[in-house]
């Protein structure tokens, strides 16, 4: 994905998403991981060590934001501490290393989504092989919502047309049973 300077529509500076553009200086900064400086992350009690340059491969991520990291730095242990899911962080760190985001299959979609949002990683970049599993919760949730709507929608409280009042419980049950048995085309529950 290309980045262009928002103020200068004709800016010749175009760079991949993992590069930083300094339009004032007319430079593109690309950190290719040559630095030997490492950082240690303690994520939910699990320690990860990586090159600092790896963090800049996703410049919009909080991991590339020094101010954000400073808030979580424990100087006595010389590490950054986050009380987050270490399994998801491993996937995110591997994404920064390889450029491919693969999800652990045993993490449910909503939990993965929360972690991705916290770390500033868009879910649209999840690899195709993992996206189906990740998105399965959306499909399941939509199906459950449709079933719940059908269940409630087909059993609304009918109104007695003669008195314009809500029917008694027994009359409602009889009315719904009659619709289900005699008119299967009226609702999904009847079908």
Encoded tokens for 118: 């916290």
Per-residue pLDDT tens listing for the chain (191 residues): 444 445 545 545 455 554 556 666 666 655 554 568 999 999 999 999 999 999 998 888 899 999 999 999 999 999 999 999 999 999 999 999 999 999 998 888 888 999 999 999 998 999 999 888 888 877 777 777 787 777 665 544 555 555 555 556 677 677 777 777 776 666 666 66
Nearest CA-CA partner of 68 in 29, 95, 41, 37:
41
Angle between helices 86-98 and 109-119 (to 10 degrees): 60
Own/partner contacts of 171-175, CB < 8 Å, gap of 24 or more, are none
Question: How many alpha carbons fall within 13 Å on the CB side of residue 122?
Answer: 6
- Per the CB < 8 A criterion, the answer to whether 116 and 95 are in contact is no
For 21-30, the pLDDT digits (tens) are 666 666 665 5
CATH topology for the 38-143 domain: Potassium Channel Kv1.1; Chain A (3.30.710)
Q: Where are the domains of the chain?
A: 38-143
What span, in angstroms and rounded, lies between the C-alpha atoms of 17 and 26? Answer: 17
- Per the CB < 8 A criterion, the answer to whether 61 and 69 are in contact is no
For 154-185, the pLDDT digits (tens) are 544 555 555 555 556 677 677 777 777 776 66
Beta bridge partners of 22: 27
């Amino acid at each position: 994905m290309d980045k262009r300077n928002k103020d200068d529509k004709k800016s010749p500076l175009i760079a991949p998403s993992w590069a930083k553009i300094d339009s004032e200086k007319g430079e593109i900064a690309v950190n290719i991981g040559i630095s030997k400086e490492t950082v240690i992350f303690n994520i939910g009690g699990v320690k990860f060590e990586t090159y600092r340059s790896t963090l800049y491969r996703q410049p919009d991520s909080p991991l590339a934001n020094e101010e954000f990291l400073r808030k979580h730095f424990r100087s006595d242990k010389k590490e950054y501490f986050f009380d987050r899911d270490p399994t998801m962080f491993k996937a995110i760190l591997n994404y920064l290393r390889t450029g491919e985001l693969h999800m652990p299959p045993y993490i449910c979609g909503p939990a993965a989504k929360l972690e991705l949002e916290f770390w500033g990683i868009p879910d649209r970049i999840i690899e195709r092989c993992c996206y189906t599993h990740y998105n399965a919760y959306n499909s399941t949730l939509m199906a459950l919502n449709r079933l719940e709507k059908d269940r409630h929608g087909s059993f609304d409280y009918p109104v007695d047309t003669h008195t314009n009042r809500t029917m008694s419980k027994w009359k409602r049950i009889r009315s719904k049973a009659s619709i289900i048995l005699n008119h299967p085309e009226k609702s999904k529950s009847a079908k």
